[in-house]
Amino acid sequence: DADVTQTPRNRITKTGKRIMLECSQTKGHDRMYWYRQDPGLGLRLIYYSFDVKDINKGEISDGYSVSRQAQAKFSLSLESAIPNQTALYFCATSDSFLTSGGKSSYNEQFFGPGTRLTVL
Amino acid sequence: GENVEQHPSTLSVQEGDSAVIKCTYSDSASNYFPWYKQELGKGPQLIIDIRSNVGEKKDQRIAVTLNKTAKHFSLHITETQPEDSAVYFCAASRGYYGGATNKLIFGTGTLLAVQP
């Protein structure tokens, strides 16, 4: 979906290097997510953000950090890359709506095209 | 923790046949069950979803069924076509009702190959 873009699309790096993956969206959504996809393991949530001031860890956040620079931008960093971080990384967005209990998410998540990261 | 099991991991069918993919979830509080299709080189895209207050939903050749008691849900594709070839992911979430975090727990994926 061209509304969610990821850069770079492919990256090969070496163990110990710092890597940043970037995600931008033009959908106007306030919620953004980073997932990792490995063969046979599906997609696993790394971090998610409900607005610029709200960052939350997912199920596999160790070794990763994120930055929400603006509503439209959400970056994922690997401070010191290791080979088992070789994977396909996806950014996703979703919209929210107001309820009597506060903000809640529309359920559909819109995914970017992915970044294939190889750590040698 | 929360878990979604998906079977089979690969499925090969002849064009025109039906395909069925099954998922089982562990979190009884899950109330939203989407299915995503991932084509080669692309990100997953939602194709159909079902909420816990519904037992079945259809959209043209695609249908999803939900058995809350057994914590099972399935994707059914009829009259398969070569363009249906892709990886399909099921997911479960608590996220439909107000205040919830909408975290999706994904299954491990099914590679569907439709042979012409």
Total CB pairs under 8 A between chain A and B: 73
Q: What is the pLDDT of residue A39?
A: 86
- Contact of A46 with chain B, judged by CB distance below 8 Å, is answered with no
- Residue A42 and residue B108: Cβ atoms within 8 Å? yes
Q: Quote the tokens at residue A37.
A: 């996809």
Per-run averaged pLDDT (10 residues), chain A, 120 residues: 89 97 95 93 92 91 96 96 97 81 73 96
Chain B partners of A94 at a C-beta cutoff of 8 Å? 102
Closest-CA distance, B9 to chain A, in angstroms, reads 8
Q: What is the pLDDT of residue B103?
A: 81
- Residue that is written with structure tokens 């490995």 in the block: A38
Burial A75-91 (b: 16+ CB within 10 A, else e): bbebeebeeebebbbbb
DSSP state of A79: S
Chain B partners of A103 at a C-beta cutoff of 8 Å? 99
Shortest CA distance from A95: residue in chain B: B102
How many Cα atoms are found within 13 Å in the side-chain-facing hemisphere of B37? Answer: 14
pLDDT tens-digit map of B51-95: 888 899 999 999 999 999 999 999 999 999 999 999 999 999 886
